[in-house]
Chain A
Amino acid sequence: MERLIIFWIVHLALLGLFGLEMLILAWIWLGARVPGLPRDAWRGRKLRVIVGRVLRGIFSRRIGTFVKALVLDGLVHRQLFRTDKLRWFAHSAVFWSFLLLGILSTITGMTVEFLNPHPEHSQSPIVFPIHHPLIEAIVNMDHPVTAVLNEGLSLILLLGLLLIVWRRYVQRDAQLRTRGPDTAILVLLVVIMVGGYMLEAFRFLAEGVPAYQAIFGPLGYGLALLLGFLPLSQEAWGGIHFWFFFAHFASVSLLLFYMPFSKFFHTVMSPLVVALNAVEESGGAA
């Protein structure tokens, strides 16, 4: 079966599982007390009240406070910047790179399947081919811009991870409490990032990407040059690339599966809570 067909089937199934986990969290959350309602109020009633309050908040002046805090404190993390610049850099490097790589991957996936100027490379039954330099760049992983973006962001992420690992396991800051779940998340992230570079190198070897194109992914290309010394045929590299693609995909999926029930979920929740706190401090009901 085609690699991308398997990918999409499994990916959609895992997204469904992720959605189920989010629903479970929402169900737990709606069991909590909502100020102004009886403690034993029905979950549907709570949801209605919360949606109403959110909508009223969106269409009020408080939205400015919310957005400002969301950006400055939830996303830019100015408090952490004031506390410790190195920690801020490590956190931002991981957070922003991971977020941007996720967005880039989603855009690439959607573009390849639905807007591909070469519809024969799409697995989707419905394609609207668009011939535009931007679309060409997105669907071509070896395009200089796409390659530099992917590799650059991955490198920043890896640098951030190394700083975090150094602080947690080498420097051992007194305030840190490293437990299994902390290690699990870091291991997963490192595996994903290192795996990404290896996958890129395998692809260079499997597809015989010429040096003038591969050079825009310097780390992957360097790795491919090293691996190239192994006595393997291009076809063999193709097989390795096929299976490694699924190994890499499995590690990303595992992170997605683990995320809602792990500390990694703070990447989603903490900006929201920071913004809600700001609204409350400004005098509004959050």
Chain B
Amino acid sequence: MSEVKEREKGTRLDISHFTGRQVLELLACTRCGECIQWCPTYTQYPVDVEAERDAITPLDKITTLRSFLLGQYTGPLGRLFGHRAPDDAGLERYATGAYGCTLCGRCQVVCPVGINTRELWIAMREQLVDLDRYPAIMDHLRETVGTYHNISGDPNETRTGWSANLAEVPASLDRQKGAEVVYYLGCVSAFYPMVYSIPQAFVPIMEQAGVSWTTLGGEEWCCGFPLTIAGMGADTVELARHNVAAVREIGARTVVTACPSCYHTWRHEYPRLVGDLGFQVVHSTEFLRDLIRAGRITLQGFKDPITYHDPCDLGRTSGIYDAPREIIQAIPGIQFTEMQDHHEYSLCCGGGGDVEMANAELAQAVGQQRMLQAQETGAKMIVTACQQCKRTLLGAARRAKIRIRTIDISELVWRAMQG
């Protein structure tokens, strides 16, 4: 694990970080190990550090936490059965496991008990933040988001920088009141030039379809997802309030985003944090699908054979598998092949769970594995529906020298519209 914060560190767990359901799930784990072979970071972790590698497995994290709790709360009785209260070494190992996870949620799909692992891992991280046992880089993330309201540390007013390359900058780009749709870019699309191409494709599609749209411009703040999954969910409330208020000020009826993590946060976390939003939240794949269904955009065709990568936060976390495939199948003459792992079994790109921040090499290794699966299909392009997936897969392909291009589904649609 990367450098862990050096501050006053606690060792006593606070069980109220976990729900009653999660405690039952800890006791329900059968130790069958089904999760291990499906864990993308475990399979890509360097094998020469077997103990550290094992700490990453879902099985180990659950067993360790259960043992910690029984050891802490039952004293001599628990010790009689081999359970030990958490100590420095144990918590260090446990933190390695908790932050070495991409939160892809594949373990949840294959778990015979159906343990809601993703939420459990996030609760574990919250506990570790409470004990000041988390990678130091997470503090940098928290400070950056708190100061600049984005993850890159760039001035937030430059969020529309990607629009400079548009043939014509739309008049409605920045906070146009009365717009029906707010396009929420998310930090990655707004600040990482590598994926500027996503908004640069999505905006012309909306323009051609005659959508009344705008963005929040410099008033778009980070959705809070990176903090939530880092175990710093409490810091998300202010971000949620600001973003929701900004959309309400525009008066939009719909928020659309091409980022599955932002989508999940807006759709599922924000109502929990700020109550009823008063507008709908859709992902770009749902939005584009609806435009196609309504005949508001016309697809001409696409030549290159493609495959599709299900982003974890769009598929497993949010349950959206069909919309992107419906879009792809709507393109005349498309040659589409699924990869070995797809839908709920889809392999992670490695870009989730803030792993990239704590262990960039591990994230790249997972991404390379995914690109190899794409290569097996004979596709020339891997299409995804997530800016972070695109960024990670592009990097992985470059490092592994795999000649497959990665594009977002918005780019696919835009190209298919042009024929």
Contacts and interface: CB of A to CB of B under 8 A. Distances in A.
Interface in B10-36: 15-25, 27-34, 36
A25 B27 contact: yes
B336 interface: no
A182 B31 CA distance: 9
Interface in A22-52: 24-25, 27-35, 39-40, 46, 50
A39 B37 CA distance: 35
B81 A31 contact: no
Contacts of A174: 36-37
A173 B32 CA distance: 10
B20 A273 contact: no
A260 B57 CA distance: 24
A32 B22 contact: yes
Contact of A40 (B16, B21, B57): B16
Contacts of B74: 24, 28, 261
A33 B19 contact: yes
Contact of B73 (A24, A39, A80, A274): A24
Nearest to B78: A261
A106 interface: no
B28 A272 contact: yes
Given A266-B30, A270-B113, A273-B25, A33 B18 contact: yes
A187 B36 CA distance: 25
A30 B30 contact: no
A35 B81 CA distance: 31
B21 A276 contact: yes
A180 B24 contact: no
Contacts of B286: none
B33 A177 contact: yes
A272 B25 CA distance: 9
Contacts of B29: 263, 266, 270
Nearest to A74: B113
Interface string A258-286: 10011101100110111011100000001
Is the interface on chain A under 10, 10 to 19, 20 to 34, or 35 or more residues?
Answer: 35 or more
Which of B19, B63, B114 gathers the greatest number of chain A CB atoms within 10 Å? B114
A25 B70 CA distance: 8
B33 A261 contact: no
A175 interface: yes
A178 B54 CA distance: 12
Given A266-B29, A269-B27, A273-B115, A24 B20 contact: no
Nearest to A28: B73
A176 interface: yes
B16 A39 contact: yes
Interface in A75-96: 77, 79-80, 83
B82 interface: yes
Interface string B29-52: 111111011000000000000000
A277 B59 contact: no
B30 A277 contact: no
A83 B32 CA distance: 12
A93 to B, nearest CB: 15
A269 B20 CA distance: 13
Which of B17, B23, B28, B57 gathers the greatest number of chain A CB atoms within 10 Å? B28
Given A24-B73, A261-B77, A272-B28, A277 B15 contact: no
Contacts of B32: 175-176
A46 B74 CA distance: 21
A273 B114 contact: yes
A29 B23 contact: yes
Contacts of A79: 112
Nearest to A286: B21
B83 interface: yes
Given A79-B112, A261-B70, A270 B28 contact: yes
Interface in B49-96: 54, 57, 59-60, 63, 69-70, 73-74, 77-78, 81-83
B33 A258 contact: no
Given A177-B54, A266-B30, A273-B24, A31 B15 contact: yes
Contacts of B115: 273
B116 interface: yes
Interface string B111-154: 01111100000000000000000000000000000000000000
Contacts of B22: 32
Nearest to B15: A31
A50 B32 CA distance: 30
A266 B28 contact: yes
A286 B19 CA distance: 12
B23 A32 contact: yes
A173 B33 CA distance: 9
A207 B181 CA distance: 87
Question: 8 shortest A-B CB distances, which residue pairs?
Answer: A175-B33, A269-B28, A273-B28, A270-B28, A277-B114, A31-B15, A39-B16, A261-B81
21 contacts: A25-B27, A27-B73, A30-B20, A32-B16, A32-B20, A80-B112, A83-B112, A175-B36, A177-B36, A177-B57, A177-B60, A261-B74, A266-B113, A269-B24, A269-B27, A270-B30, A273-B21, A274-B28, A274-B113, A276-B24, A277-B116
Given A269-B24, A269-B27, 11 more contacts: A31-B15, A33-B17, A33-B19, A174-B37, A175-B32, A176-B32, A177-B33, A263-B31, A270-B30, A276-B21, A278-B114
